[in-house]
Structure 1
Amino acid sequence: MKKIAFCQLIAFTVLFMTTSLLVAQSSSPSETNHQVTLERTEIRTLHSEIIDQDYELFISLPSSYHSGEKHYPLIIGLDAYTGFLHAKGCIDAYTYLAPLMPEVILVGIGYGGTGYMEFARWIAGRTRDFTPVRKPSIEEYYKGFIVQKGFNQLEVHTGGAAQFLSFLNSELLPFLLKEYRIESDNKALFGASFGGLFTLYALFNSSDSFNKYFIESPSINYSDGAIYKDEARYAASHSDLSAEIFICAGGQEKNLIDNINTLDSLLRTRKYQNLHIEKVFFEGENHISCAPAAISRGLIELYNN
């Protein structure tokens, strides 16, 4: 049922990725063109005292949000710079065109700035926030990458996952729960690449924070597979893991596929009664091109019950 519905809605998803953007069009060609705005979406800034960082929050509300007192599931996406627009387009399609998933509140986490500065801040911020341990070679690589773009003033660090998880639990989630009508027991975390690594880190270090996890092309082998230490610590002190996991990669990501299969097999040996894992590899896709299919399919798998 899920796969059939997924295939039928792909074309409509592409349509809604476009139509969810409301364009204020001019009445004649001679008038100045207006900026594009996103329907039912607002941007808010939240300062983290824990990290000393201003985070830019992209918040998309359901169409019915202002017409009642209903509470909604929450999806937090770690890479607003690359994933927010597609996630919003899919959600709009899957809630407007057919009851494939419930209405949700979508929150994308960004780092501010415009143009190339936004890109550079995103690279530096995610490299710091999503990695569990320091790795100087990664810092040097991404610092060089940013310098090539002309942003010498930005420093690149790694190993900030513990602080970022504290930010989520102690600052971001309390803020969102206070400001918006959110189902406190229905929260999802979406992450890809380094973000997928962090999503696994959150799963093993704060399993009560979220109940659904979208993990795309996770960097499981980061720092010689340091995430396995977190998994082992969790397993040593818990007999169950209550979570719904969608984990995926592109079919061309051979190393990541091997890593995902290894982790999947390990988790299944734990025999956690309330752990549900859906694993998908998208044939012909690579680390970049996998994202659209992953988001579309992940929403169906996690929410089309």
Structure 2
Amino acid sequence: MSPTLVQTTADLSYVLPGTTFYEFDSERVGARFGVWVTLPLLYDQEERDYPLVFQPDGNKAAPTTAPPAALLRDDPINPIKPFIQVSVGYVGEDARRLLAIRARDLLPPGEPLSSEVDESMLDNLPRAGMLSRADARLYLDHLRDPHADRFLAFLTEELDPALRSQFRVSDSGTGLHGFSYGGLFASYAALSTDHFEMVGAGSPGILHNSTVLDLYDQAVADESRPTARHLHVTVCERELTYPSTYQDLVGRGAVDLVRRAGQNPVQGMDVTAAFTPTESHATGSAASWFSFLRECYAADSPTSTLARVHPSGESQ
């Protein structure tokens, strides 16, 4: 008898050790979200509190960034302070059409759109196999009427308190990282609230007339506006150097934001920037995440004996 493949559903611990999955109904958004919570490796052994670090686009972010989390504090090269990783995504029908749904949550209200956002998407997206025609229409509608303000309220007013009631959470160091439209949302959040102290904006889709740039100018003019304490902006090298639509959709606006920060700093907010070499928009999300952690959550030294062992297994 020849061997056969047996289809089954993998236990979450097989691919995301230390991660628990929850579903959460948001009154602010009027939708149900999926939430992947990854605890530090020694959470059950240590009597201490940990900062929360949020990510949107959890359906992609959790599988690509949560598995290394257990090793970050013991990395002898780039040790990271332990934190509770919270990846927020979608469930059910919304998970299948997340390209359309995330536009609802990640674009600021009134955000200008590029000239490429038009009715032709209703044919192009189904032809590319990305969305059905009905979901392409939903995507276009959400792009034209987004509500990142509601999603931000969900994170800060609903999900954050729920997590603090269940886990040992520090009062300081709360973070947020997003990539692409998630990076646009992170930039918007960094200039709209001080709930997140550390914010990472990876390849944010900031156009030349983005509301984010207006918010930055408002923060410069009004020192009483709440903002993040640290905003770290990353752009993929090839989004800038390779001739493509990403030069205008990502590179130009991100560089403009960093330029403004250098010329007119916002009182109380540090802005740093980094390029992720060789990456494109399709591959840069995880690299942006780790750049953010190294910049905002770096530890002085590894915290366990694992870091003092060579790859060969021989102790130093």
Q: TM-score, normalised by structure 1?
A: 0.79
C-alpha displacement of 1:292: 3.0
- Residue 205 and residue 41 in structure 1: after superposition, are their counterparts in 2 closer, same or farther (change >3 A)? same
C-alpha displacement of 1:250: 1.1
- Residue 141 and residue 280 in structure 1: after superposition, are their counterparts in 2 closer, same or farther (change >3 A)? farther
CA distance in 1, matches of 2:159, 2:95: 21
C-alpha displacement of 1:31: 8.5
The match for 1:103 is 82
Q: Deviations over 1:117-168 (max 9, x none)?
A: 6241x21221111111356874756665268456455423132111111212
C-alpha displacement of 1:88: 1.5
Aligned 8 A contact 1:205 1:234 in 2: no
- Residue 138 and residue 244 in structure 1: after superposition, are their counterparts in 2 closer, same or farther (change >3 A)? same
CA distance in 1, matches of 2:216, 2:162: 29
Q: Confirm whether residue 295 of structure 1 aligns to residue 289 of structure 2.
A: yes
C-alpha displacement of 1:183: 0.9
> Taking every aligned residue pair, what percent have the same amino acid on both sides?
22
- Structure 2 residue aligned with 1:218, among 200, 204, 208? 204
The match for 2:254 is 260
Aligned 8 A contact 1:61 1:106 in 2: yes
Determine which structure has the larger strand proportion and give its number: 1
Q: Deviations over 1:38-68 (max 9, x none)?
A: 2111111110111110011011111222234
- Residue 248 and residue 284 in structure 1: after superposition, are their counterparts in 2 closer, same or farther (change >3 A)? same
- Residue 101 and residue 150 in structure 1: after superposition, are their counterparts in 2 closer, same or farther (change >3 A)? closer
The match for 1:234 is 219
Q: Confirm whether residue 169 of structure 1 aligns to residue 156 of structure 2.
A: yes
Q: Confirm whether residue 132 of structure 1 aligns to residue 108 of structure 2.
A: yes
> Which residue identity does 2:176 align to in structure 1?
L
- Residue 192 and residue 142 in structure 1: after superposition, are their counterparts in 2 closer, same or farther (change >3 A)? farther
Q: Deviations over 1:194-217 (max 9, x none)?
A: 1111111111111x1101111110
Secondary structure, counterpart of 1:186 in structure 2: coil
> Which residue identity does 1:118 align to in structure 2?
A
Q: Deviations over 1:205-247 (max 9, x none)?
A: 11x110111111000107x322212222222221685522221
- Residue 96 and residue 85 in structure 1: after superposition, are their counterparts in 2 closer, same or farther (change >3 A)? farther
Secondary structure, counterpart of 1:35 in structure 2: coil
- Unmatched segments (≥5 aa) in structure 2: 241-246, 300-316
After the TM superposition, which of the residue ranges 290-299 and 48-57 deviates more from structure 2?
290-299
Determine which structure has the larger helix proportion and give its number: 1
Matches for 1:261-276 after TM superposition, within 5 Å: 261-272=255-266, 274-276=268-270
- Residue 33 and residue 167 in structure 1: after superposition, are their counterparts in 2 closer, same or farther (change >3 A)? closer
- Structure 2 residue aligned with 1:52, among 30, 37, 42? 30
Aligned 8 A contact 2:220 2:266 in 1: no
CA distance in 2, matches of 1:34, 1:161: 33
C-alpha displacement of 1:30: 9.5
> Which residue identity does 2:80 align to in structure 1?
M
- Residue 151 and residue 29 in structure 1: after superposition, are their counterparts in 2 closer, same or farther (change >3 A)? closer
Aligned 8 A contact 1:90 1:296 in 2: no
The match for 1:82 is 60
Aligned 8 A contact 1:55 1:109 in 2: yes
Number of equivalences: 273
Matches for 1:116-127 after TM superposition, within 5 Å: 118-120=95-97, 122-127=98-103
Secondary structure, counterpart of 1:271 in structure 2: coil
- Unmatched segments (≥5 aa) in structure 1: 1-27
Secondary structure, counterpart of 2:262 in structure 1: helix
Q: TM-score, normalised by structure 2?
A: 0.76
- Residue 80 and residue 146 in structure 1: after superposition, are their counterparts in 2 closer, same or farther (change >3 A)? farther
The match for 1:62 is 40
Q: Deviations over 1:244-293 (max 9, x none)?
A: 22211111112233322221121233334543232111233211122232
Q: CA RMSD in A?
A: 2.8
